[in-house]
Amino acid sequence: MEPSFAYSERDFVTDVWRTKEGDAPAPSSRFDSALTGGWTDRLHRGLLRYHLGDLRTRVLPGPPRYVAQLNTQRGLERRKPQAIVSVNQPFSARQFNFNKINPEEVLFEMTSWGASEPPDPRGEKEKMVVVVNVSPLEFGHCLLVPDPSRCLPQVLTRFAVQAGIESVLLSSDPAFRVGFNSLGGFASVNHLHLHGYYLNHELAIESMAAKPLAPERGFYRLSGFPTGFLFYTEAGCLAKVAGAVFQVTDFLVNGNYAHNLFLTRGCPPCEVLGKEEDTLRRGVRIAVWPRISCFGAKEESAFNVALCELAGHLPFKRKEDFDHMTDKEIEDTIQRYLLPEEEFLRLETQLTAKLMEL
């Protein structure tokens, strides 16, 4: 029987700030203690394919402040990605899925007892199973898997979106991030899951300026590179914004657009930030990048363009790329996977109109 982690809105941590280097860290939340404690235990028991150690990390000097990390072992040891042919590809029990993992890789089951949780059409309380990622990117790297027994394909549900946002709010550490790769967006397993991990470096996306599109639904456009959409929510409007995020991802799936999401503590979006807003991390920023699909495409030699890379966290597989790649080369690589400007603007118009219908 897996350990259970039951929570409610009272467990959300709202007083979070981006501290300066050398400041004392905030006390760990109950969620952080359960996750990091379970993850470290599995590491010491040898369930991970390799020890991360202290990953070599450098912050590139340019304005994007890319956080580059050298992780050669993940490039060598991770499971071979599945063959993907469609954003809507059905689940296949014959391929690897999370019902086939070692049961000891399960850290705990998350269940919300909040009044705002989305209804389950089966009339049951939905659960999120938290599993250690045996080929980790960073400390605490886990997979958030909505009830694996349902055998859902890698297509976001409203529950998965809301539970992902809630997990960020449950953490008192602004280093905790959550992300999602769709099929065609470098998802490697066609079984619904999100990634969660700790990256103890500030990312530009936490405070990047944003242009309002449908602000009453929490919907904005990122003003910096790479071009994408942004949602923002605090605990009080979580369910409403989660519903809007799901409307967007559902629209993208129906249009066969691959996409990546990145959820992180961040400041409220505006076009010009003041000093206080630049450090405030009370809420959650949800970046959504529609992108060019990669079906059966060869992986990039330096890095794949997925949720981490679009957010400015670059796990490199080769030392020469880690040592020498420039901001310009990084942006040229990422740009190849972004939608052409005309197509993005057309999609922006469609999504804005859809969200303003309600």
What topology is assigned to 35-356 in CATH? HIT family, subunit A (3.30.428)
Q: Are 187 and 156 in contact (CB under 8 A)?
A: no
Q: Report the mean per-residue pLDDT for the chain.
A: 91
Q: What's the rounded Cα separation, in Å, for the pair 138 and 144?
A: 15
Instruction: Select the more confidently predicted residue: 180 or 126.
Output: 180
Q: What's the rounded Cα separation, in Å, for the pair 91 and 343?
A: 29
The per-residue pLDDT for range 62-74, each reduced to its tens digit, is 889 999 999 888 7
The pLDDT score that the predictor gives to residue 187 is: 94
Reading across the β-sheet that carries 142-146, which strands appear in turn? 4-7, 106-112, 128-132, 142-146, 194-198, 176-181, 258-266, 283-291, 229-233, 219-222, 210-214
Q: Which of 193, 195, 259, 313 is catalytic?
A: 193
The pLDDT score that the predictor gives to residue 274 is: 54
193 as an active site residue: the answer is yes
Q: What's the rounded Cα separation, in Å, for the pair 159 and 122?
A: 13
Q: pTM for the whole thing?
A: 0.94
73 membership: H or E segment, kind and range: helix 72-77
Q: Can you spell out the DSSP letters for 218-236?
A: TEEEESSSSP-EEEEE-GG
| pLDDT greater than 60 at residue 297 | no
Q: What's the rounded Cα separation, in Å, for the pair 201 and 169?
A: 18
| Number of CB atoms found within 10 A of residue 8's CB | 11
* Terminal C-alpha separation, the chain: 43
The pLDDT score that the predictor gives to residue 271 is: 59
The per-residue pLDDT for range 271-287, each reduced to its tens digit, is 555 555 668 899 999 99
The pLDDT score that the predictor gives to residue 258 is: 97
**Token pair listed for 225:** 């590179």
Comparing C-alpha atoms, which of 157, 136, 132, 138 is closest to residue 147? 157
Q: What's the rounded Cα separation, in Å, for the pair 278 and 209?
A: 10
pLDDT band with cut points at 50, 70 and 90 for residue 26? confident
Average pLDDT over residues 208-222: 95
